[in-house]
Every structure is written in structure tokens, then in C-alpha cells.
Structure 1
């Protein structure tokens, strides 16, 4: 039995369906046109754009005259080693008209986008077609200008990949890239990761689509909180990061301490919850029975001996002279030894006894120390300390003796660790002078302090310009910062003094440095580099190279542009009409007409007000400043108009207006100039007459 074979297109469609089901992805393929060149204004079939007639064989490159209106169509399909007909399995896109026959696009560029919702295969084939947007009536003419195709691998990313195509009819440059849709990652746009911070997860997404837990969360979906550090893994738990909530039977900051049984009075738990292990001398289920009542309460008074007889029970054996359950009754008043520092004797007093105090003590019970310092026996600021039947004096510095009467001669005492023959506390001193209760030192130059032990700081306010001052004995030294010299670092070093700049460079002194201003053709720190930047012949297409400062300049020949003269310049129209068509197709502009004579090349005859080879320049009649007397010139078609100031008129403001004579103040002796229909007249002041008020009235 023969099996039916499916068409290739159907097989491809089924394969894509299976692929999208196995690993769904999401992204977009993008293409942008950069440059397009079709200087011949022709289609791929050889016909002219915009329905123009096909140029005859051997015609010049500029035989077509109507501009193209170029649009593009994109077809994306599976990888093919050579472009073959078939369906655009990955999609198709089209652009509007982006330019004419030749153009370069600038930002923002038009993007042909093809979104996809399947696993990106990385390898593909694209077919890019350029069409003339014109309603062709010939069914066999599609308006195709050029077709470019490319097969290769492009991985998703923000970077563009530039491609070029040079065809028989036209050349174009374009760029492509593949980007994953938001939340899709990796080289096939199949890893899905959407950041979230809710009950289902707490994470962000890395550049590769991996989940990165927010601080305080863990787990596959970052849904488990991280408890407080040290929280017991079994006895503690948390619902929020950083918490440590104890389970029943456990307590403490980290839930590591067991909790005794409820009601356990004098007991504890030992490693397990709800336990009640009794403390020493306690018993019972709740550890509430005292097994050592004598030790816990010490109920026997006055030296009685206590004996535990049963839980919470005891028996007191009283000392001689005492009785009662707790030996609380005193049968002999002297038995408790009430006299603290003396002998007790029975007496008929209310207490039943009297005390004979030892020396230095007083009071009914001989418990008060006699204050031997009350008479202020210590002198010269000493501190008196009361003793039992005595006192002692803590002398202030500089005094000695039992009552601190004697002055200490500090200058006669050899300092500890001092050299043989040294005396007194003074160091770096010329002499030591003893005083009452003290001493004074006569310091040598450069030293200060009570014992002349401190070196005088000679650095204060000495060193300048950031220098470091080193203090010496009665002197100082300045360690100057780079670029400065002198005892106090007050002078700036002239770094240009050695003339470091070569080859005529100009030296500029800086702080501990210099800078060389190099002449043209030299560079480097000291203008030592005289490398010829034109030595590598960077200029192309016959352009001469000129050395500039640390650079070069290419003077491009006609038809080329760019830094290295590697880019073609747009073709320009001939400066002069060479054919009748150059005139009839608007070659003489709006200001002239084309005139042809036998045996003479066509030329442009300009209308009044226009000039130029093609009558392209309008003549500015105001260029010669025709208006006089500060008149304002207004240019017009083949003419001009002068706006005259007050008192002037005429084509060029050169005629004086009698009506405006008042601006010249013609009336003398305080007369007033008055305008009227006839021109002007003077209204004279009292005592004057005449046309200009210049005659005295009689």
C-alpha cells in the first residue's frame, strides 16, 4: 500500500505548529533601511520608473528622467542556502514610500517589524524587495527595482547587524536585529520570567531570564521567607522575612528555649517542652513543695538550729537564753549580745542590760564610732581619715609628715630612672626652684610645660602652599609640595625653565607640570612626534592628503565625499544646459525661458529681475542702496520702492517736501511754524514780523 506524500508547504506548517507547542516563545524581527542607490532611475526589467519608456540600447546612464517612489517588502522564511520560491513561513511586512531613486535615511528610521510567537530558530533567510510605487498598466510589470536576500544566524539582542547588497539595478544598505518580547529571554526567546512581588513569588529577572529572589526570600519561586538568622529550624517559623515565631512549647528570641509545664512553680525544662524538672530542695509534680524549709526561709532566730522534718515543715533548737517555735523569745537580755563593741551586764533599766563600750566607740549599744577627725588635725589641704580611736592624714602633693606640716623639696628628689646626679622633676630646664607645696622649672629655649617636657611647636603658620612642617627644637623644616621651593615653600618652580618643548612648541608653566602647544604637524608631550599622518595614504579615489595637527585632511575629488573620500556624492545637474530637454524640463527655473538657435547650444534668457546661467537667482534691486536721505528700500519683482522719512518724497526720497518744511524750524525769534493747505507759515511772537519772524515790529 503506497503512502500519500504531503506537500512541502503543509509539512513546514505542521513542523512549525509542533515547534511552537513544544517551546513557545515571543519576539520580533526588525529591519531598517539605511541607504538606497538607483541613479539610473530604472526597474529590474530595464524600464524607467513611473511608467517611463524603456531607454534604447546603449543610451546614457541618465536616460530615464522620472524619479522613482521607492517602497520595500520583506519576506522571512526558514534557512535556505540559496533563495528559493515558497511561502514566507516566518511572516512578511511592507513599508510605505521611503524615498525617491537614491536616498540616505536618518533617525528615526522606519522599521519593518515581524513579531513571532514561536521558538526563535536563530538561522533564517530574508528576502528584501524594493518596488516603484506606481500603478503600472502592463500586467507583466510589477515595478520591482531590486531584490536582495541573505541567509545566516542572528541571535536575540539589542545590537543591530548591518548588511549590504549591490545588485544589477540598485544597491542598498540595511540593518537587522531580533529582540525578545518583554519577559522572554535566552537565544530562542523561550525562557519566560516576569518580575513579581506578591503571594505567589518575590523575585526579579536577570539578563538571561533567571529568577533572582528579592532580599529575604528563597525557594524555587522565591515564595519562602528567610527567617531571622539563628531562628531554630524546627521550633521556629516565619511568615515574613526576618521574623522568628515560636511554636507551642518554645520561647526565646530564636525559639531555642523550651517552655516549662504550665503551673510549674520552682522548676524548669531541660531540652524538651512542657517539662517540669524541680530546682534543688523542691519537689512535687509542679515543684511547689519545699524540701529544705530551713535553708529557704531560715525561720530560727537568735542563733537557733533548724532541722527539716518533712516537706514544708521544720524544728528549731534554741540557744541558751532563748525559747519559742522560732526561738523568738529572749529569756536573757544579754544572750543576743546587744553591745556591738563592749561588754553587756544585766541591769534594772528598761532594756534589762547596760553596755560598757570599748575605746573609740560610744552609744547605748556601743555601735557608734568616735569621730577622731572632728578636731581637724590635718593641715595644708590634707584629707583626714577616721580610724578606731585614731586618725590618718592623706597629704596634698608637696607636703608630708603625720599632720602634713612639712614641705617636700621636689628639686632634691632624683627622678625615677634619671641619670646619676640628676635632681628634681624638671627636664630640658636650666634650673629647678622649690616653692611651698610645689616647684617651678626654668625651661631651656624651645621647651615648655610644667616640667619642660613639651617641645614648643615652631611650625604654626610657617610652611606655605600645602607643605608639610617638621618641628625641630627651637626650629622647623618645611617639606615642600611638588612644584614649590624655599625655606617656607613660597616660590613656584618654573617647569618651563629647561625649555622642554621641541620643534618650536610653546611651553605653558603649570603647577609641578607644563604643557606644550605644538605647531601644525607635531604632537606628543614635548612636541617630539613629527609623524606624517599622510604616510599611510588614507585618502582614496585620487584625493590629495594634507597633514593637520595630530590628524590629516582629505580634499575629495568631484563625485566623492567622507573623511577618506570613500563615499559617492550625489550626482549634480550640469552647470549649463546642454540639451533642449534641459530647458523644457525646467532647466531655466521660474525666471527664464530656453532659447535654441541653429548651430548654437541652448541657453536661458532671463526675465527682468532674474539672473544666473539658469535664471535661478532673483536680482536684489536694493543691493545698491538707491534710497537717499535715510529712506528704507523694499525689494520687489524687477523693481524697488523707497519708504521716505518725514520731509522727503520721490522715487529715491531725493525731493524736499515744502509741506514738511516745519521740520527744519524755519521760524526765528520764538515764532511757531504752522502747516496749512498751502504748505506752511510762521506765527510770530509779539514784537516780531516777517515771513520768517526775523524783522522787528514798529
Structure 2
């Protein structure tokens, strides 16, 4: 037996009933609204909190003006005004009469002697028509409905099964509430107007509704899909797949019909064992052959060698479902179409070039100095007469020519254009110059002698045939000689002067002194006599 594991908030055999969370919870000064696995409280004016159990002391907000005394009783406040003030908050002077529009909520003001009177509209009371009447005092809501007085009128929250007249309105759906708000809750509710049956027809029964479900659906609201596959409706091992409100059967290759109840011609085994039979109708079928077989009943073996698939002389050998090729030496691949590269690796040595052949290779040793199958044998170039006019020395992989006088080049095969022959004839074109730097260049596999011309003074050009105009010039020797002589002379004069100064300085500070004969014989002279200069002193 199957058991339904209900989601939170639902109960019943098929989880079709919602649990009333308000049954065991109380909202004190408020109204409980049932939801899905939860409830909420709509508090009356003057109360707050999750359970509407917190009374709000509105006097703490000092609503009374002009010295009015505030008292708080059952969620409401009242202002006891001084004699000269009126109003719900003592906000209006009595002496202002109607000029200041003291009447509230659209009330009409009338002056009476030294004061005024407010003619209040329906729903309001008080000196200034600022007090809202409690419309619920007359119990206008029927059948156990809850009455709420608000905005100059009343509102009824109906119990399940009741509603008001057509002009009634649906209240806000708090947490999934199913209760309806209307004028008086004096009319039985038609539950089918909200189309509660998802996949069925709705019928109102007493204070509830009943759903006649379509085929494939069940539940209070016909929103539960029936899994028909648990009854195994598909015959002959057909595979059942459940769909919303229905199901379908997937039959094997031998059966047809919505429930795989029709026997097909494939049961007779028309495709032998070499194919799969696909039933098209009860009497027709199609054979899908396995690899290697063909024909309407898959009774013919395919010969894959008929198309000659093997290339390059390969031999074909067929088998059921395919073929194989025996390749000749040098070829590979499924059809022998790939030539084996015999040059893979270092086959040719000493710079030889490998040329791939069928089932083999060749080494091109040209220019390497070696020969042989793999270019490993040294060539004796001297034995082959490589040096035409010179002495030959064989080297490993090469050779060296020592050319005779009058010849140049790798093989000494080209005459030196700068050296005259036995008849004193030259092969250069230096008309007014000397042939220098003879060398050999190769053009179209031919060795050609090249050279340069060093021209005589007064000539130029590639072959020294152009006369160059002479220009007067002063030789560097004519300028450098006198300058060098002048520098040497100045150096000598400087040295002589330095020596003279040095000698005179030494005489002034060194040597002996002796008086002259004149100084010794004449000891006195008259003051007025003319003095003659004494002879020069002698320094010894």
C-alpha cells in the first residue's frame, strides 16, 4: 500500500487538506489568519506584537495640545481639554467660531451665540466630528464573522462557507488565507467561483465543494497525477512511460498497438540471425542487416574484395564484415596506399642526401667528397686528376691543390691574369696600371678569373684608361720642415736662457769678497766732490 508523505502544512490520505494553524493559537486582541504551515495575527487598533498582546500607550506621544490631559484606555487615548479649547487633541479655541474651520472630516460648522456647533457626517462623532464611530457595536456581521471598524465604515471577515452580496470585496490574502471579506457574511459562498478543481469539474456541496476529476488525475483539487504505469498496462514486456494525466507504451520490434497487444510478422524471424527485424505494420516489416550481410532477409554475404580495395599490388582477403590487405614490401596501410619512408633516420652519412625509393633508398653523395651506398667512402680526388696545373694532396672528404706559377682556383685550372705568359703577354686590361688581387668566381658552373687594377698617378677608372686632371698642391714636407725647425730653435733658446738665469743667481749668493786698491788708498772724500763709480767687484 502506498502512503503519501505530505509537505508541511497539509494532511489527509492524499495530502489534500490544509492544517488549520489557528485552531491552537490565539491572537488575543487581534484576528488569526491561517496560512500554509503558519499563521499570522492582524492586530486591532492600539495593539501590536506577534500575538497582538502588547498594548500601545499612545499618551507617550503627547497627542493632547494646549494643556489637555491624556488618558489611555483599551488601546485608545482621550484628551480632557481646558475650558477654552475643544477637539480630539484640544487643538481648537472655542472663541474662533467657524472662521478657522474647526470641524473635521467634512462636518458643517454652525455658529451658536459665543461658540459653534459641528454637524457631523455619518460615521463621525465628537465636538469637532473628529471621533470615528464604532460601527461594530450593532453586530452587523452574521454567521460568526469578525467585524472591523475602519475608515467610517465596517468590514466583515467571514468564516468558511459564507460571503456577502455581490458588491462585497475579497480581503488581502495574508499567508494564503482562504477566508473572504464581505459586507455582512450573510450569504453561503459558492466555492466553485474560484475554480478550485485544476483538472476536473467543480460541484458545490453544503459549505464545501467537490471535484469530479478527469481521467489520469486525482486529489481534492484534481491536481495529483495518477501513475498508470503501476498497473502495468503495456503488454508483451512493453515499456510504460507516465505523463501528466496519461501514459504511453514503447513496444519491442515484434509488437504494435497502444498497449503492445498486436502481434507482428517479425515474430516469424524473417531476417534469419543476420539482421534485426523492425515491425512497420502487423503484416509488414523491415530487415536491418548486420555488417557483412545484405538482401531483403539478410541472407547474402557481402564480398568486400570485389571492388579491389588493395593498392600497389596488395592482395585482398575477405571475411564476413570486412577485408584485409597483404602489402608488397615498401607499402603499408589498410589498403597498402602508404609508401614506407626508408629515409627515416640518419641513413646517408657525411651530408649525403637520401632519396626514398620503393622498398629502399639511394644516397646522393654529390659534393660531399665521399661515395658509396651511404656516402662513407672517401674519394681520392688526386687520383682523378682534380688539380689541373698544380700538385694535389688528398684530404678526408676533400682535397687541396698547390697551384703552379701562373694558375689559380680550387683546381688550378684558371690562368693567373696578372702574370705574363712565356711570350710576356698578359690577360688583364689594366692599360695604365698594375694587375692585383687575382681570384676565381663561378658563373654557370664555369670558373672565371677576376682581378683589380691599381692605376698609375694621373689615371683612373676600372681599367686605368681615364686621364685625371693634375692639380697644384703643396707638399707636406715643405710645410712640416720649417715648422719643426722653428720648434727646435725655440726649445734651444729657452734652455740657454734658463741656464743664464740659474748661473747669475748662484753668483749673487755664493763666493768671496776683497776690496780694490782704490778703496784701500783713498779713505776719505769731500762731500762736495764728485764720486766716480768704483771699478767692478771681482768675485773669486
Q: TM-score, normalised by structure 2?
A: 0.25
Q: TM-score, normalised by structure 1?
A: 0.21
Larger radius of gyration, structure 1 or 2?
Answer: 2
